[in-house]
Structure 1
Amino acid sequence: MKALFIGGTGTISSAITQQLAESGCELYLLNRGTRNDNLPAGVKVITADIHDEQKVADLIKDHEFDVVADFIAFVPEHVERDYRLFKGKTKQYIFISSASAYQKPLSDYRITEGTPLSNPYWEYSRNKIACEDYLMKQYRDNGFPITIVRPSHTYSERSIPLGVHGNNGSWQVAKRMLENKPVIIHGDGTTLWTLTHNRDFAKGFIGLMGNIHAIGESVHITSDESVTWNQIYEIIADALGVKLNAVHVPSEFLDACSIYDFRGGLIGDKANTVVFDNSKLKRLVPDFVATTRVDQGIKQTVQFILKHPELQKEDPEFDAWCDRVIEVLDEALKKIKE
């Protein structure tokens, strides 16, 4: 199989790149070359900015691919460009959408690919829906061989999966735990959530590549395991070897007082209970099974980050914001009790 990944070094795509390289796939990555230091042997790089359409067209003019997958397309203009570049040059074009595009609020917590797409809270999700709409039109009208993949919360060894964090990622929350400082959990922490390790996501994704039954289809790829946010934070604390000091804060309050995008990331996504039905994926990829249990995967991630100081990026602004939110809630409670 000859495949081209636009991107190929991010959280979701890096595990796919690794597994394909090990399988002997002829894999090309098209990116700007800023994160290619640890690519597996045999992976070929086409160095370009995908937004420079003419340069990319010149670089791929002598290539045809079995699969093209774009991991960094976020708005309709991106997939419109891809259609111009790859129409007639690939047997399958895979668009990475998002499970956050599913209807919010949900009418049923059990999500299938037939769940309506509608997210009034998050522009990111609405843009992904618009991309899907454009690609499905090209499939229906012009036979463009598309497959739409919807990841949910996918994580790797480089970042601890959380509900509430700042712009510098997850380390500051782990640092607060290590310092026995209170940690904010959105809502009451009892909503169900699904975490998927990128190793497991890669198995499902590779099973869809070159799969004739996946053409014209939309498929989400997630674990079958559901846990509460309270359990997720307890697992993180346990992996760090500390006791969790949790403070539960309503998601609406976090959104209202936040300098961060909690309206989209929480109200439009993580504050909702979601349980995924992966029956469609398993019909298309009969041997798919997610084998990384949440507690095992998070423990591996925490151990990896503790051994790699370069991943421990502090966020004093977020730390101070957490302290202020908790202080305000404590003050309100005292006033009510007076």
Structure 2
Amino acid sequence: MKLLVLGGTGVISRAIVAEALARQHEVAVFNRGSKNHLFSGEVECIVGDKANREQFREVMKDRQFDAVIDMISFDAKDAQSTVETFQGRSGQIIVCSSTAAYKRPFRTVPTSEDAEQLVEDAAFPYAFHKAEMERYLQQVIEAGELPVTIIRPSLTYGIGAANLGVLRQNYNIVHRIRSRKPLVMFGDGTIPWSFSFAPDVAKAFVGAAGNERMYGQHYHATNEDIHVWQDLYLEFGKLLGIEPELVHISSSMLKEANPDLFAHLYYEKSYSGLFDNSKLKLDLPGYQASISLSSGLAMMLEWYEREGHSVDESKDRLEDRLTAFYTDACSQLKGLF
């Protein structure tokens, strides 16, 4: 099949390119051209900025694809640009949404796609705009204009990730454990969660291409191993042979202190992160997310050390201040009795 990946250099999308190449598909990517060296196989690189909608349509006007995988639409206008650009030029559009788009609290745990509602409150903009995007795409599906498939990953890690950890500390987690410095955990660390990794999620996107059973449908694509949030740090500790020290601060307090950094904890990750993949497995037989938390974090650790990742000093100082705040708060609380 001839596939186009809009993006292609992000954590999930670069794994999609690798999976598509492994399946012998003909692959093109469209992005701003800054990281096209990432690809190990033959990939056509189309350079442009999707935010420039006129330029995007002009670049694509004479191109045809069996399927377009859109990893860089974040609101309804983005999705509309994709649909209008590829109307009559692609056999299918596969769009990356997010489990963040669901209204909380959930009606079902593990969460089932067809039992949930989409966010209507704009307090968490990322989730609201993804939900608005899905509402637009549902109109396209109902109008029968173009085969559309929506895939909703949950929190996904992989090579290139910059989203790992409560503070999105990334390599700093390894640094702090090795330095015997405490790490901040939101709440009591026992929110159930399934941590997913990009190569597993990529199999759902590539498997959806040309799969008529998946036209007009929406799916989770997540790991289903059950963990709790603190397992993320405890598993890193096992890999490093050092038990990490965790301090606990409520997601509400963190969000009030810095909404830009911590809103995702309060609005999304304070609720269960367990998702039912039954629907995907029914329509994509053989699908299985097989990368465990331990092996996935071992992959991340190997990547950090291979590339010589440096400490984010500003994040490290912030975590020092937060852990000191926790210690002071505990002392003041004891003083009340």
Q: What TM-score, normalized by structure 1, do the two folds share?
A: 0.93
Partner of 2:288: 289
Q: Which of structure 1's runs of 4+ aligned residues deviate more than 4 A?
A: none
Counterpart in 2 of 1:301?
A: 300
AA paired with 1:129? A
The reply to whether residue 325 of structure 1 matches residue 327 of structure 2 is no
Answering whether residue 173 of structure 2 is matched by residue 176 of structure 1, we say no
- Which 5+ residue runs of structure 1 have no aligned equivalent? none
Instruction: Give 1:126's aligned residue.
Output: 128
Matches within 5 A, 1:219-234: 219-234=219-234
CA distance, structure 1, for counterparts of residue 227 and residue 301 of structure 2: 18
Going from structure 1 to structure 2, the CA distance change for 1:50 and 1:268 (only over 3 Å counts) comes to same
The aligned residue for residue 165 of structure 1 is 167
Q: Distance in 1 between matches of 2:64 and 2:103?
A: 37
Match of 2:202 in 1: 202
Q: How does 1:63-102 map to 2 (within 5 A)?
A: 63-102=63-102
- Report the AA paired with residue 193 of structure 1: W
User: Identity over aligned residues, as a percent?
Assistant: 30
What is residue 239 of structure 1 aligned with on the other side?
239
For residues 258 and 61 of structure 1, do their structure 2 counterparts lie closer, same or farther at Cα, with a shift above 3 Å needed? closer
Question: Quick one: structure 1 residues 303 and 241, their matched pair in 2 at CA, closer, same or farther if it must change by over 3 Å?
Answer: farther
CA contact (8 A) 2:71 2:95 kept: yes
- Answer whether contact 2:157 2:164 (CA < 8 A) is retained: no
| Residue 109 (structure 1) shift | 2.7
Helix, strand or coil: the match of 1:131? Answer: helix
Question: Matches of 1:258 and 1:51 in 2, distance apart?
Answer: 28
Contact 1:148 1:219 in 2 (8 A): yes
Q: Which amino acid in structure 2 is aligned with residue 29 of structure 1?
A: V
1:269 is aligned to 2:268: yes
Q: How many residues align?
A: 333
1:146-171 CA-to-partner distances (Å, cap 9, x unmatched) read 111101011113448644125xx412
What is the aligned partner in structure 2 of residue 217 from structure 1? 217
Question: Could you tell me how far apart the structure 1 residues matched to 2:219 and 2:112 are?
Answer: 9
Q: State the alpha-carbon separation in 1 of the partners of residues 163 and 297 from structure 2.
A: 8
- The answer to whether 1:5 aligns with 2:5 is yes
What SS does the aligned partner of 1:140 have? helix
Q: Distance in 2 between matches of 1:251 and 1:204?
A: 31
The code of the aligned residue for 1:92 comes to: Q
- Name the CA distance, whole Å, in 2 between partners of 1:240 and 1:306: 12
**CA RMSD of the aligned region, Å?**
1.7
Q: Which one-letter code corresponds to 2:117 in the other structure?
A: P
Partner amino acid, structure 1, of 2:278: S
In 1, Cα distance between equivalents of 2:110 and 2:276 = 6
How much has 1:198 moved relative to structure 2?
1.0
Query: Which TM-score applies when normalising by structure 2?
Result: 0.93
Q: Per the alignment, do residues 230 and 207 of structure 1 end up closer, same or farther by CA in structure 2, a change over 3 Å counting?
A: same
